[in-house]
Amino acid sequence: MNPYMMGISAGLQVFGAIQSGRAEKRRQAAIAMQQEQNAKMEKLRALQDHNARIEAFKAYESTANTVRAVNNRSSSDRSYQAIMKASKEKSRTDLGRARTQSLFTQGRMRFAAQDARYSGSIAMQQALLSAGSSVAMASYNMQQVTPTGTP
């Protein structure tokens, strides 16, 4: 075995391992950025959904008031009040469920982003360990093929 070729081989293994680790870390950082962006988009979607639900309830309330007025019923009419109370409670329940689901989804996305960043760090650590292992193995192999110099 040629000791120079062994040195070149070890150098290339070190370089390859480090480049591979850096590439994986960049890939995981891109995944993390995408997950963070997804969480922001989910937050925006939830806000828009919330606003749409509020507007829909206001439209329902306006229509109910119009129907009540056309039918010559007062706002103190018990059936009207019961209908409006049930509608408001259903609307609040739906808003709460939607908010909870959105927060859960955002949390999942942020966890995925954090996990991707962690995976990138682990990949870089593994690359450095692999590079160190390559250097150690090359040193050992060089010692096996190089004469010791003692007669």
- pLDDT (average), residues 56-66: 91
Q: What six digits make up the tokens of 57? A: 């309830």
Residue 77 DSSP one-character state: -
Q: Provide the total of helices (H) and of strands (E) in the chain, helices listed first.
A: 2, 0
Q: What six digits make up the tokens of 131? A: 């590079």
Give the mean pLDDT of the chain.
Answer: 90
- Of residues 1 and 68, which shows the higher confidence score? 68
Give the pLDDT confidence score for residue 5 in this predicted structure: 83
Give the pLDDT confidence score for residue 149 in this predicted structure: 64
**At a CB cut-off of 8 Å and minimum separation 6, what does 128 contact?**
17, 18, 21
Q: Taking the model in full, what pTM does it have? A: 0.73
Q: Decide: helix, strand or coil at residue 151.
A: coil
| Residue showing tokens 């290339």 | 12
- Of residues 111 and 68, which shows the higher confidence score? 111
